[in-house]
Amino acid sequence: MARARVALIVAFVALTAYDVTVNGYFEPAALFPPHYTAGAGSSTLLIRAALCVLVVFTQLASLLRATNLTRAASVGIAIAAPILFVWSLDATERVAPHFSEAAFDAVTSRAAMTKQDVLAQLGSPLIAGRCDNRECWSYVYMPSGGFGGRTRIVIFDDRGRIADHIRKSEP
């Protein structure tokens, strides 16, 4: 039974490390990725959630037959696993280097701003592309290893002035 508990812990930690690194930091960012890809949670997220629950339950169940030292370790692991899981949900969000919410609010509240004005306030975007035949700059991206996240996009008209913006925050 102890081997099974250790295997669950190792699987949970390894899959979390994979999601944070490979799915998180190495996944190419996209302006409007499919919902199942960006911040909607991948299948590994669901597996990690199930593993986390199993780790917590098996660690708590092991308290019945544990010594004082193994009780302390089991309680520590039962507390650490959900903390690691919750941290990993948000840890992979990428933000442009000079981005701030206050600067984004200031930029999007003034429609007459040009691309140069936006660059001066927010810096270079994380992702630049086209949406609805207009130039769009995105400053925040949540990869598939995470969950929820923010969307902050500035949309320019054909004269290079702000035409619109997208501001969403998902749970």
pLDDT at 136: 93
Please tell me whether residues 124 and 67 are part of one structural domain: no
What pLDDT shows up at residue 113?
86
Q: Are residues 104 and 130 in the same domain?
A: yes
Specify whether 11 is located in the same domain as 85.
Answer: yes
- 83 in helix, strand or coil? helix
Q: What is the number of residues in the chain?
A: 171
User: For residue 27, what are the β-bridge partners?
Assistant: none
Looking at the structure, tell me whether residues 69 and 134 fall in a common domain.
no
Along the 171 residues of the chain, how does pLDDT read in single tens digits? 688 889 999 999 999 888 888 777 777 777 766 555 555 556 788 888 999 999 999 998 888 887 877 888 899 999 999 999 988 887 778 889 989 999 988 887 776 888 999 999 899 999 999 888 899 999 988 876 666 678 889 999 888 888 888 888 776
Exposure of 47 in the CB half-sphere (CA atoms within 13 A): 14
Do 11 and 4 contact (CB within 8 A), yes or no? Answer: no
Number of separate domains in the chain: 2
Give the Å distances, CA to CA, from 23 to 33, 50, 87, 147: 14, 18, 15, 12
Element (H, E) at 164: strand 162-170
pTM check: above 0.85: no
Domain that holds residue 146: 94-170
Rounded-to-integer distance, Cα 158 and Cα 152, Å: 20
Q: Which residue is it, tokens 């619109």? A: 164
The pLDDT assigned to 163 comes to 87
